[in-house]
Structure 1
């Protein structure tokens, strides 16, 4: 005989995660054991400090408030409405409740028995991934050392293919070697005998000291620079980069990119001072991942036309999509795509210089600004850049500036054809306002700092996130020193920056609804850039400037550095870093899905799980903004 009540419960549950991840037969098994609870407004389901129940809960009708109680007051943490789960602590932490759950209105609650739920979902990874996220979302103070690894489970592999990328790289064991006292001729003969393209040079203790490749022989022996009888140590590349045998494929790829190498020596303890046990090559990585940033970087460096440069950069989008599908950690993804974007800029400048009638008249430096300056430009968004040139005599100034403006026009045009749109506000080096001598730039930043107003803060918020790309780095260093010396002597500027950082409060209304655009073409869309990412970006910039932190541009790296410097605020800063990475990953996925910048999101297209993850990332925004109010005396700023 059918149980019509259980069927109705199951029909409701299957609309919402994680129950929509459970097969019908198992869901019915759960539904037959569900307790149905009726609550009047104000009734408590559980209180802070209560021992955990044998159930967790989902709202059928009505709404349930979650409170954090203190000795003097109670603070509402969230409101759960139809389809929201809460009270998941028995499943995850098995400890007393940290919140109080009270009916906000007349409500019907389904109580899901923990044991029966566990019995039918014990092998369902997706279900537990969702529940851990929900647990974190309903935790008052979730950013503890024990829970950090659970909250952002998006970064962990959850399929066979994903796990493969995080397993130990398959390196070549017992690599062919030669001693460091042999001749190049002997080493080359050994390479021919074994039909290999490189040989590892080791000392008598079998520690790796160098590597010889076919390219070394071609460039140093065939050209006549050295005799074939020369010692192998004269032409080997040294020192070698070494790693432990348990390095993952993803990490090995990142190391190769960072050091611009194609071979990693595997040693017993991961250092050059231990025995060589294997070699991992770029080819091994390429075979595993099926696509290689190293290959893309080579194509970019060799590109002779804008068309070939665009073709190479487009491959990075395919790579980006693949990385996100494989759940490669976003920090790795950011590093790789930023390296590719920088290489595109460098090549565009090289091509631009070739189009000029003469070489640059004086030293100059090209800077990327905004998201690329922070190394956070994963998608094709607009370009923001600036140019600094060395000071010249007044009589040569116009001619020098005209040269660099023409060069900048070539470069920005190339970048536009590659796929980076022109900046709508014309914040590009091709604009005379953003192409200046080093002394002019110093004066400009001093003016922004000592005479702040809304326009100055708007511009400085973009220009303070700059990154050296090309040319004479000392010019950028000089500018950086000027900025940090200037901000030592002002508090007004920080207050203006602080006010700007508070302009977008956490993007949730009182009843947990997303704050969407109210009019225009984007009506009812959620602006993840301005409402979620920018508050964290602005806060990180302000704090690093005030703490005199140089050379750290990435938002999440800024928060991580702040966590180092202020251990007492480590949990807050770590939570901001994690939230930013999760939001950046979410925006990038949306942009790839809809072939746009990912800036505006149609909330109706998101699953309940995706909305939950977004809400989870908004909590640190409120915490960091409250911190800014206290630090910079902004308590009355709205």
Structure 2
């Protein structure tokens, strides 16, 4: 028996939250585990079935969690080794939201809720792990909390590191000390008026001793007053939620949050002794919890979505930088890291656009709704901007009648100005070439954008080719994506008519030779402030970016902007060169990691490395990334007959 318990413990300790347990706790849990062997095509539990007194860890096999609706069945989650599911049992006796289908013969560990609840009370890290998973809307709790959040297409980190959640200490938890209160006799209108004046989303209803009787929130005003056409002169006690759930002001952070999770509370009232028979001493909201829970992707993204001011977004983006440093130093896969940082940047842009639109409604009240899309360009367009380096972006709006053209242009220019102002306030840098949405050249209707690209393709001057390297990597971040799609189709139509353009792009991709000199040393800058430094962007990353773009354009592949994803697709399209394209994609990921780490360490863009400061292994790793550049350049030279361009 001890042998089995040891094996169960050895398996569990590889995965969070069990990796956070003390040895005694781990063996206590392992000793209580029930082992289920289930054959393929069995149903483990059904949607709507009451939750059992266990939750589950998949040891071997595959389990699909399926949602059944009038439209049919939809796979919501695929459980892999170490994934924790059936966790709603931890929140009380609730029916299962999904059906668990056994896809392959599976071995499942069932862990009694009763024994684990005791651990939750004592081990704050375990409690926070589950709390954050529930808060992110997860039905499967796993090491990467961005799984349940929209942090790109099924974001997944192959890292086995169990500390991808970085929690802050409890001193950072923001608790509202001055709680807005009123007596039960107040009218609904009085209470709502005070909430509006103070700009808060809740008011606690108290008796004459300042003991809490109930709570009224914004949601109550919508659902219990407006939706039911209730007379606003009615007493506030008629709509308050009562009795009110309370906890002690000094109670442990994890217990406070689990109380909110279990009871589905957005606000928790804190009193002197933790009961409703003592004075109100504070209030905590789910938004406050999210802001204090640290630097996991799900938490940061949620905090950004709920941010009320630009300064708040700046602070959250600063925290994302700490998360980025942790990920890079712990060798988390670059694909995952880039996706997370892109999603964070995108949320900031979307919020900035939304706020700017609200402000401009006052100035442009009569302007009809006009379709537009905000484009990210360059590295952010390729989903590769890890650091807050210079911005490249633009606005495309639909063509409007002549009488609206000037007004529309003015509106979208003002929109671009406001968005860029917010992004700069969040710590991003201004583009030296002014390729930003606050430059009127890059705020244009669709027809003008089409003419821009046509001109660059038909007349590929050096300046046009430079613009192509930035603008051809556009990506719609917010607004109407159909405009970006139409622009993409236009570009491919033009390239089909002017195939020589690819030759010019190819020649441009060959302009930067492989970055090693005759004596196999790094080619460094010869003068200026970066003398004797290696330009990792211009000499290593840009050649790979340019080559990937050229080759993917030649295959007319739409919708893949990211450089290592482009190489991944090219490996699929050209099986004869699979190894080379795979090597090139890996090389690019290594270069991204090295540049970002340099930037974080030096507090700059990370573009210029000092080769002498690199260790022997780092130098060799960097040199290894150069080899695919020369091979790819040779292929491009032959494929696009670039000898012709030199005659």
TM > 0.5: yes
* Secondary structure at the counterpart of residue 474 of structure 1: helix
- Where does residue 357 of structure 2 map in the other structure? 353
Q: Cα–Cα, structure 1 residues 409 and 621, in superposed 2: closer, same or farther, change >3 Å? A: same
Answer with 401-410 or 435-444: which moved more.
435-444
- Where does residue 439 of structure 2 map in the other structure? 431
Q: Cα–Cα, structure 1 residues 282 and 295, in superposed 2: closer, same or farther, change >3 Å? A: farther
Q: Choose which of 299, 307, 331 in structure 2 pairs with 1:327.
A: 331
Q: Choose which of 573, 576, 589 in structure 1 pairs with 2:581.
A: 573
Matches within 5 A, 1:40-439: 179-180=46-47, 208-210=65-67, 239-246=74-81, 268-269=102-103, 281-282=140-141, 285=144, 288-291=163-166, 292-356=296-360, 357=362, 358=365, 361-439=369-447
Verify the 8 A CA contact 2:381 2:561 in the aligned structure 1. yes
Query: Is 1:544 the counterpart of 2:525 in the alignment?
Result: no
Matches within 5 A, 1:585-596: 585-596=593-604
Q: Choose which of 513, 531, 541 in structure 1 pairs with 2:539.
A: 531
**TM-superposed deviation, 1:209:** 3.5
**TM-superposed deviation, 1:299:** 0.7
* Secondary structure at the counterpart of residue 103 of structure 2: coil
Answer with 277-286 or 374-383: which moved more.
277-286
Show CA shifts across 1:213-256 (max 9, x none).
Answer: xxxxxxxxxxxxxxxxxxxx69x99845222331679xxxxxxx
- Where does residue 493 of structure 1 map in the other structure? 501
Verify the 8 A CA contact 1:268 1:275 in the aligned structure 2. no
**TM-superposed deviation, 1:561:** 0.6
Q: Choose which of 450, 456, 466 in structure 2 pairs with 1:458.
A: 466
Structure-1 separation of matches of 2:597 and 2:164: 19
**TM-superposed deviation, 1:634:** 1.3
Structure-2 separation of matches of 1:575 and 1:434: 36
- Where does residue 454 of structure 2 map in the other structure? 446
Q: Cα–Cα, structure 1 residues 515 and 304, in superposed 2: closer, same or farther, change >3 Å? A: same
* Secondary structure at the counterpart of residue 269 of structure 1: strand
**TM-superposed deviation, 1:361:** 3.4
Structure-2 separation of matches of 1:472 and 1:164: 48
Show CA shifts across 1:259-291 (max 9, x none).
Answer: xxxx999764379x9999899645865684223
Structure-1 separation of matches of 2:405 and 2:379: 31
Q: Cα–Cα, structure 1 residues 265 and 443, in superposed 2: closer, same or farther, change >3 Å? A: farther
**TM-superposed deviation, 1:499:** 1.4
Show CA shifts across 1:95-115 (max 9, x none).
Answer: xxxxxxxxxxxxxxxxxxxxx
Q: Cα–Cα, structure 1 residues 539 and 166, in superposed 2: closer, same or farther, change >3 Å? A: farther
Q: Cα–Cα, structure 1 residues 207 and 264, in superposed 2: closer, same or farther, change >3 Å? A: closer
Q: Cα–Cα, structure 1 residues 165 and 237, in superposed 2: closer, same or farther, change >3 Å? A: farther
Q: Cα–Cα, structure 1 residues 337 and 270, in superposed 2: closer, same or farther, change >3 Å? A: farther
**TM-superposed deviation, 1:320:** 0.8
Verify the 8 A CA contact 1:367 1:467 in the aligned structure 2. yes
- Where does residue 606 of structure 1 map in the other structure? 614
Show CA shifts across 1:574-614 (max 9, x none).
Answer: 11111111111111111111111110111121112111111
Structure-2 separation of matches of 1:336 and 1:237: 31
Structure-1 separation of matches of 2:581 and 2:546: 14
**TM-superposed deviation, 1:637:** 6.1
Q: Cα–Cα, structure 1 residues 207 and 500, in superposed 2: closer, same or farther, change >3 Å? A: closer
Query: Is 1:620 the counterpart of 2:628 in the alignment?
Result: yes
**TM-superposed deviation, 1:170:** 5.5
Structure-2 separation of matches of 1:264 and 1:338: 30
Q: Cα–Cα, structure 1 residues 289 and 554, in superposed 2: closer, same or farther, change >3 Å? A: same
Structure-2 separation of matches of 1:207 and 1:544: 35
Verify the 8 A CA contact 1:244 1:266 in the aligned structure 2. no
Structure-1 separation of matches of 2:140 and 2:499: 53
Task: Return 5+ residue gaps in structure 2 as ranges.
Answer: 1-9, 19-28, 37-43, 57-62, 85-96, 112-137, 146-161, 167-295
Structure-2 separation of matches of 1:239 and 1:343: 27
- Where does residue 202 of structure 2 map in the other structure? none
Structure-1 separation of matches of 2:444 and 2:405: 10
- Where does residue 238 of structure 2 map in the other structure? none
- Where does residue 486 of structure 2 map in the other structure? 478
Show CA shifts across 1:4-31 (max 9, x none).
Answer: xxxxxxxxxxxxxxxxxxxxxxxxxxxx
Task: Return 5+ residue gaps in structure 1 as ranges.
Answer: 1-162, 200-205, 212-232, 250-262
Verify the 8 A CA contact 1:366 1:470 in the aligned structure 2. yes
**TM-superposed deviation, 1:179:** 4.5
Q: Greater RCO between the two (CA within 8 Å, min separation 6)?
A: 1
Structure-2 separation of matches of 1:553 and 1:387: 18
Verify the 8 A CA contact 1:465 1:553 in the aligned structure 2. yes
Q: Cα–Cα, structure 1 residues 586 and 636, in superposed 2: closer, same or farther, change >3 Å? A: farther
RMSD over equivalenced CA pairs, Å:
3.6
- Where does residue 584 of structure 1 map in the other structure? 592
* Secondary structure at the counterpart of residue 374 of structure 2: strand
Structure-2 separation of matches of 1:265 and 1:381: 46
- Where does residue 39 of structure 2 map in the other structure? none
**TM-superposed deviation, 1:420:** 1.0
Verify the 8 A CA contact 1:245 1:266 in the aligned structure 2. no
Structure-2 separation of matches of 1:603 and 1:540: 26
**TM-superposed deviation, 1:491:** 2.5
* Secondary structure at the counterpart of residue 241 of structure 1: strand
